[in-house]
Amino acid sequence: MKDKILELLLSTDGYLSGEAISKRFGVTRAAVWKWMDQLRREDGVELESHPRQGYKLKERPDLLLPALIREKGSGRFFEAIDHLSIVDSTNNYLKQLAREGAGEVRVAVAEEQNGGKGRLGRGWVSVRSKGVFVSILLRPQLPPALAGNITMMAALAGAKAVGRLGFDAKIKWPNDIVVEGKKICGILTEMSANMDAMEWAVLGMGFNVNQMKEDWPEDLLDKASSLRMLGGGRKVERTALLAALLTEMDGLYTKLEAGAFGEILEEYRKHSATLGKRVRVIDSKGEYTADAVDLDEEGALVVRTLEGEVHKVLAADVSVRGLMGYV
């Protein structure tokens, strides 16, 4: 309902009276007041209210509200979006819903996370209303061994979405999105599976959008950046990025469901920042230098060592670094 009221406010120029809203939705004036109060306090929407004239938006809110995202796209990934003002982690939030039986596709997006999680047990700095912190619950019909395919699909969807905003986005294998050699998005997939099928997968993506230098610890800055910093300080519309992501994800997930991972890989290769590069492979047995030459049909990285041996590198086992820097 909150979302419906917001949609109405967005499409109204002047004031909207409490009475008009209550009539429109068949609720009491007290209920309207309660929703307005929630919009203000929980979602941070700035409203002007006038005792006789009613309510009006002070400005278009810079928030990832479902009503604002739906203005920019449609499809199955737009249908069930939970907007959270603050949460520990959008992944945790959706994992809980998954365990309680929520169906796919469910999307959770937060303005702020106070326990944002990165890969390898790291944290994810999630400053309020600066990034896009989003998770998607899927129930893919895939064997658990192919979980990596979902993450690669997400990386491609993310890179294409960032591309729609005019940036030249690439993927550092397996799943970091980079612009000009700096990480602007990381992906954390968590899942539950039995021996032969995936039960659910929660795909968590953190995009660095409007952060500036002061929003991060200094040691992150040689490796990471934000779209705003890369775009010369111009603010980027977070709802446009999220809508582009949900649109790209729909198309690619349809391919994945149809068993056409090969098509996804073909496109992924074109966006790869790793292929053709000399890399340092770090696995449980040690480190070596090699040339990244291809991706196999399951998405493993094929490398040729300096001695000419060909190895297949699985995403779960290694860390791959460029020789000259992060990519």
Can you say which residues are annotated as belonging to the binding site?
A: 89-91, 113, 183
Minimum Å distance from CB 185 to ligand BTN?
8
Between 132 and 230, name the residue whose CB sits nearer to ligand BTN.
132
Residue 270: which H helix or E strand, with range? helix 261-270
Sign of CA dihedral 103, 76, 62, 202: positive
Query: Which residue of the chain is nearest ligand BTN when measured via CB?
Result: 186
C-alpha dihedral over 105, 67, 183, 289, to 10 degrees?
20
Minimum Å distance from CB 56 to ligand BTN?
33
The one-letter code for the residue type at 295 is: L
Alpha-carbon distance of 156 to 187, in angstroms, equals 11
Between 45 and 108, name the residue whose CB sits nearer to ligand BTN.
108
Q: Which residues are annotated as a binding site for biotin?
A: 89-91, 113, 183
Q: What angle do CA 57, 63, 69 make, to 5 degrees?
A: 100
Among 55, 77, 78, 124, which residue sits at the site for ligand BTN (rule: CB under 6 A)?
A: 124
Residue 45: which H helix or E strand, with range? none
The one-letter code for the residue type at 177 is: I
Per-residue binder mask for ligand BTN (CB under 6 A), 92-121, x = binder: ---------------------x--xxxx--
Q: Does the footprint of ligand BTN cover residue 274 (CB under 6 A)?
A: no
Alpha-carbon distance of 66 to 138, in angstroms, equals 19
Minimum Å distance from CB 284 to ligand BTN?
19
Between 35 and 93, name the residue whose CB sits nearer to ligand BTN.
93
Q: Does the footprint of ligand BTN cover residue 122 (CB under 6 A)?
A: yes
Token pair belonging to 14: 């002047």
**Crossing angle of helices 2-10 and 29-41, rounded to 10°:** 80
Q: Does the footprint of ligand BTN cover residue 208 (CB under 6 A)?
A: no
**Burial level of 59, CB count in 10 A (0-12/13-18/19+)?**
exposed
Residues of this chain, 163-202, that bind ligand BTN according to CB under 6 A: 176, 186-188
Among 2, 36, 111, 135, which residue sits at the site for ligand BTN (rule: CB under 6 A)?
A: 135
Between 175 and 247, name the residue whose CB sits nearer to ligand BTN.
175
**Total binding residues toward ligand BTN, as defined by CB under 6 A:** 20
Alpha-carbon distance of 304 to 260, in angstroms, equals 27
Q: Does the footprint of ligand BTN cover residue 90 (CB under 6 A)?
A: yes
Minimum Å distance from CB 190 to ligand BTN?
9
Residue 63: which H helix or E strand, with range? none
CB 289 within 8 A of CB 306: yes
Alpha-carbon separation of residue 38 from 44, 86, 161, 236 (angstroms) = 9, 14, 31, 26
Q: Does the footprint of ligand BTN cover residue 158 (CB under 6 A)?
A: no
Interacting residues toward ligand BTN by CB under 6 A? 89-91, 113, 116-119, 122, 124, 133-135, 176, 186-188, 204-206
